[in-house]
A and B are shown apart, each in its own frame.
Chain A
Amino acid sequence: EAGVAQSPRYKIIEKRQSVAFWCNPISGHATLYWYQQILGQGPKLLIQFQNNGVVDDSQLPKDRFSAERLKGVDSTLKIQPAKLEDSAVYLCASSPSGNQPQHFGDGTRLSIL
């Protein structure tokens, strides 16, 4: 089966600019996750979708981050405006349901200048 697809792989922007990431989960997976992984740390959950509804966004900085999952398939994560502290790898993962192992994409590495 095809894995979780993410794009772009790398992105460099200046602070206060905006950026968007795209994720296409494994076909049929109802649950989709966005994580932020800062260098040297484990992934931190930003938002979890079940189909096209939000299950958990308690750690999403909603003043600057937004995410959507239209039609319950692919998803976009946006940052506007970006801060230096947003430099990280943004990982997308999916699973058939919320209590099963997750499949991760290779992530987008974001650098803020």
Chain B
Amino acid sequence: SQQGEEDPQALSIQEGENATMNCSYKTSINNLQWYRQNSGRGLVHLILIRSNEREKHSGRLRVTLDTSKKSSSLLITASRAADTASYFCATDSSYKLIFGSGTRLLVRP
């Protein structure tokens, strides 16, 4: 079963714009992680936010976590064509990751 559900399923933006992806989940978590997957490749870890954290930054990435709403968002600022990929949220409840179905991001040059 998949706990995290991303929204939107697909997103198309112009280079330089910001991209926002949302993730909702159902049960309590230890942490929530975001991964990127380029076509035909494995997943790459982007950022981890713990259940007692509300916001975290890494370069052009900003992640928020609202445990009361059981939701998280990933913001990519000043997007680049190289950001084109699928983005997955994954919840860690018992040292086991459960992935959502992902958001497919297309950044047009």
Contact = CB atoms under 8 A, between A and B. Distances in A.
Contacts, number: 51
Q: Size class of B's contact patch?
A: 20 to 34
Nearest to B45: A101
A48 interface: yes
B51 interface: no
A96 interface: no
A42 B96 contact: no
B43 A43 contact: yes
Contact of B101 (A4, A42, A45): A42
Contacts of A104: 35, 42-44
Q: Size class of A's contact patch?
A: 20 to 34
Interface in B3-51: 4, 30-31, 33, 35, 40-45, 48
A86 B99 CA distance: 19
Contacts of B35: 104
Interface in A51-90: 55-56
Given A44-B99, A101-B33, 14 more contacts: A4-B42, A42-B4, A42-B88, A42-B101, A42-B102, A56-B96, A93-B42, A102-B43, A104-B42, A104-B43, A105-B42, A106-B42, A107-B41, A107-B42
Interface of A: 4, 40-45, 48, 55-56, 91, 93, 98-99, 101-107
Interface of B: 2, 4, 30-31, 33, 35, 40-45, 48, 88, 90, 92, 95-102
